[in-house]
Amino acid sequence: MRSPPRPTTRAAAQLLVIAKAPVPGRSKTRLSPPLTPERAALVAEAALADTLHTVATVRASRRMLVLEGAAGPWLPRGFEVIPQRGGGLDERLASAFDDAGGPSLLIGMDTPQVAAGLLEDAMGRLLRPGVDAVLGPAVDGGWWAIGLRRPDPDVFLGVPMSTRFTAAMQRRRLSRLRLRTIELPALRDVDLIQDALAVASTTPGSRFARSLDGALEAGPQPSGRDATSWSLLGASASAAAPGSGLGMRWHDGHLDPLPVRRWLGSPSPREHEILAELPSPALDVGCGPGRHARALLERGVDAFGVESSPTAARLATRRGVPVLQRSIFDGIPGAGRWGSALLLDGNIGIGGDPPVLLRRVRTLLRPGGSAVVEVTSPARGGRMGLACLESGRHRGPWFRWARVELPAIARMATAAGFRLRRLDGGGERWFARLEAR
C-alpha cells in the first residue's frame, strides 16, 4: 500500500516511523496485564495513529512507514509503506535506513506525545553542516529517535535493543564510528501502564488519551484499600490452605506475598509496645479488620478506624471498633486535633503517593501529635505503581499502591511537616515514629 508523498519546496530530511501493526497478543504486550490483550492493541493503534498524524504535518522529503504486518485504516495519506527486513531489531533498523538511502530521522510508535515542532527541529539539526547523527534518549534508558546523515549498518548491528542501557550503548557506537552526534530532548515512551497513563495526561483529548478512558476496569482507586474487600473475602481460604495464599501483583509482574493471617490475628508483642506509646485520640488509617484499633481501645485509648472497604469495616465493627467508612482523603472529623495516627501493615502505600498521604495525615494531627509508619527494609526496596490482589487464578481490580523503604521515610516526613523521632524494628518490618511539627 503506497501513496505518493506530498511535495516539498525546500530541502528536508526523510522521516521514518518504524512500527508493528496493532494485533491483540502481539502489540503492547507489557500493558497486559492490567489491560486485556484486545485493549492493549487498541492503545497501540491509537499511539500509532497519533504518531502518524503528527508526522503527516511535518515538512519532509519523504514520509515512510517501516511496518511489520499489514497497514490498516489508521494509516493517513502521504506515506510510503516499506516492510521491515531482517531478524533482530538492530538488523531491521539498519535495513530501514538502507531503504531510505539519504538523510533520515527515524522514530517509533511509543511516543504519541511527540510534537511536530520537535521533529522539525531534530531534522534541522541533522542537516546542519558537520553533523552526522542525532539521538533522542528515552527516560527508561532506550531511545525514541535516531537520525543519520548517511546510512551505515554498523550504527545498529550488534547494539542490544530494548534494554535500559540501549541509549548509552548507541551513544558509544556512534562515538566509536566517529559520527558527530547532537542529543535531542528526552521523551517518555509507552512501555508499562504507568507510562501510558503519564503520557496520556500530557495529551488530553488525543486519540491515545481516549483509548485509555476506562481501560482499567475498576480504574486506579483513590485508595488502594478499596480492594481490601477482595483480599478479606479470600482470607479464610488462604489461611486454611498453606501455599495458596494471597499476594499483591505489581504492574511489572512482581508478586509480594501478603500476611493475611497476621492481619486477621492479634497485634504482635512489638506492635503492642508501639501502641502503648500512642496518645489519645488515635486514628488507625486503613484499619482493615481492626486489630490495632481494638488493642488501643483495650488500653483505654479513644481509637477510631478509617477504612474504605465495606467488608473490612464490617469486620472491624464486629470487634467493637468505631469505623469511619471512607477514604482518608475524605472529610475526617476533628481535623487538627487527633493525638496520633497509625499507618501500619504497609498502609503508607494507600493511594500510591506516600508524600501526599503523609501531608494529609499531618493536617489531621495536632502539633506534637504522633504518627507511626511501617516501612520496609532497604534490601526489599521501595515501589510505586499499579498493583492488584491475587490468589491463585483469581485477581482483583487494579489500584495505585506504594512501598516505602527505610532510607526514604526521613525525607518524606520532613517534607510533610514531621520530625523523625525514632526508627526501630528488624528484618522486613521497620517502624518510623514521627512527630507533627
Place of cell 501493615: 345
Say what the pLDDT of residue 33 is.
65
Report phi then psi at 259, rounded to 5. Answer: -85, 70
* Residue ranges of domains in the chain: 14-215, 227-436
What is the Cβ-side half-sphere exposure of residue 62, based on CA atoms within 13 angstroms? 19
Res 223 pLDDT > 50: no
Name the pLDDT band for 372 (thresholds 50, 70, 90). very high
What percentage of the chain has pLDDT greater than the value 90? 60
Say what the pLDDT of residue 340 is.
97
Distance of alpha carbon 65 from alpha carbon 84, whole angstroms = 9
Question: What mean pLDDT do residues 305-332 have?
Answer: 88
Res 72 pLDDT > 60: yes
Per the prediction, the chain carries an average pLDDT of 87
Each residue's pLDDT tens digit, 107-151: 999 999 999 999 999 999 999 999 999 999 998 899 999 999 999
CATH architecture of 14-215: Alpha-Beta Complex (3.90)
Fold of 227-436: Rossmann fold (3.40.50)
Say what the pLDDT of residue 21 is.
96
Say what the pLDDT of residue 180 is.
97
Say what the pLDDT of residue 245 is.
63
Say what the pLDDT of residue 215 is.
60
Say what the pLDDT of residue 30 is.
79
Distance of alpha carbon 197 from alpha carbon 181, whole angstroms = 32
Res 231 pLDDT > 50: no
Say what the pLDDT of residue 391 is.
74
Measured over the CA atoms of residue 74, residue 32, residue 309 and residue 367, the dihedral's sign is negative
Q: Does this chain's domain 14-215 share its CATH topology with 227-436?
A: no
Least confident of 208-217, 221-230, 310-319: 221-230
Q: Which residue has the higher pLDDT, 190 or 218?
A: 190
Each residue's pLDDT tens digit, 284-311: 999 988 999 999 999 999 999 999 888 8
Grid coordinates representing 262? 497476621
What count of residues does the chain have? 437
Res 239 pLDDT > 90: no
